[in-house]
Amino acid sequence: MNKGDFKFRKNYNNNKFGDQILSFDFNICDFQKNQKGKNRGTQRFDFHETLLKFLKENPDKKIFLTRKKLEKGFKKEGNDFYVNIDNFQKFCEKLHKREDRANAFFRQEVSVENLSHESRGNILASTTEQEIIERIKNFSAEQKQTFLEGLKKIEGIELPQKNLKEISDEDFLNSWQEILKTPEKQKIIVANYSQIQISILEEHKRFLEDNLVKNETFIHNWLDGKTDDKGNEIRNTEKEQKRLRKSRCLIFGLEFINFKSKGKLSGKEFDILTKTSLQRNEFVLIELKSPGEEVFDTKEKAENNNEGKSKDYSFSDSLFRSIPQVLNYKHLFENASDEELQSLNVQEGKVMKCIILIGKSKKDDKVWERNFQNLKHSFSNLIEIWTYTDLIEKLDTTIKNLRENL
């Protein structure tokens, strides 16, 4: 493409996305006069904001819009993206309200060969046919529905029209397994698969954000696959519940695998036990407390001579009890009998870390935040204190990293 052809430039000043520049090899106002969208006759066009968002997140990249035909609807040369505006708008219309339309559009060029050489952690599948099938086998009904909805947006992919609940695992796989034998269609599915999986993490993040006033039981029932995202009880088979738990427990980190929930050791019930490696029997214990519980108990002191006020900080009762509790679970696990380990379906191993999840951060309170950081740094590497705010921020980082490495 010849950059000299793109003589029309528009600087979009947007409070949400800052100052971003788009270049055109045609007059955008003339183009808009023939459009039916709300931006008709302006220098804006339908779905322009998703391009501005893309540029804000990728400041080293530039976008050039054209009406010339391009093989994939766009062409990438280094950090320059040449985009056919008609193809782009048609693509965006199919994705309804998804905010990441530009990312999805540009990911169409991702090849099976490139993806197969990149690690996507526990959430992303490799690109060979068998590996994709194995990943799908472990989908919960919730994940299958998300996956199917994503595939329905891809032209040329025929899917079963039955109610999802009426489709067996075998029928679900067989219904689209033949598609994977067509290399081009396999490439489309794999390119979209990553974003579909990322959307599941985003759903989990929204659940946490919407339920920071709920109690520990509410959170644990959701993690355990007993309730939907609204807290309504769902009746699942044991196999389906296990799949749902596997998906939801990814909120703690993609590095964790093989989650065990509400296991008993010498009559004591721990919340969550997980592994950090397939090769080593190294475990992490997670103790859940309510998002509404406090990390600290605070007591306000009387006014001083300067008419100022101060507070005394001490461990809350909930946190104070949690520390010996989780350490006791560690001791019981590392000294468990063969029968107890067999009931958990795990091998003998060592607990490398204990995580206590409790309360919400108060980042607008500098004294609280300093005390919390001091608390976290005062423990050895064995015990970590997380707030639900920390967990949501961790999810944000995970989603961002996955997107950047697609």
pLDDT at 37: 58
d(CA 272, CA 296): 24
CA angle (24 as vertex; 23, 26 as ends), nearest 5: 160
Hey, what are 136's tokens?
Answer: 């799908």
Side-by-side strand order, sheet with 18-24: 8-14, 18-24, 62-66, 80-84, 74-77
Which residue has 């599948």 as its token pair?
Answer: 125
| pTM metric for this prediction | 0.55
Which residue has 């006759």 as its token pair?
Answer: 41
Query: Is 74 within 8 Å of 88 (Cβ atoms)?
Result: yes
d(CA 80, CA 66): 13
Give the distance, in angstroms, between the CA of residue 149 and the centroid of all CA atoms in the same chain. 17
Residue ranges for the chain with pLDDT beneath 70: 35-41, 94-100, 107-197, 302-309, 405-406
Give me the residue spans of the domains in the chain: 3-109, 123-206, 213-404
pLDDT at 110: 36
Other Cβ atoms less than 10 A from the Cβ of 254: the count is: 15
Quick one: which of 325, 318, 225, 224 has its CA closest to 269? 325
pLDDT at 215: 92
Q: What is the pLDDT of residues 198-207, one digit of tens each?
A: 777 888 999 9
Hey, what are 59's tokens?
Answer: 């400041």
Instruction: Please name the amino acid found at residue 122.
Output: N
d(CA 365, CA 378): 20
Hey, what are 169's tokens?
Answer: 């695992």
pLDDT at 388: 95
Cβ-Cβ contacts under 8 Å for 330 (sequence gap 6 or more): 285, 351, 354
d(CA 385, CA 376): 6
Quick one: which of 367, 366, 357, 356 has its CA closest to 329? 356
Hey, what are 246's tokens?
Answer: 């596997």
pLDDT at 150: 60
pLDDT at 119: 30
Residue 30 DSSP SS3: helix
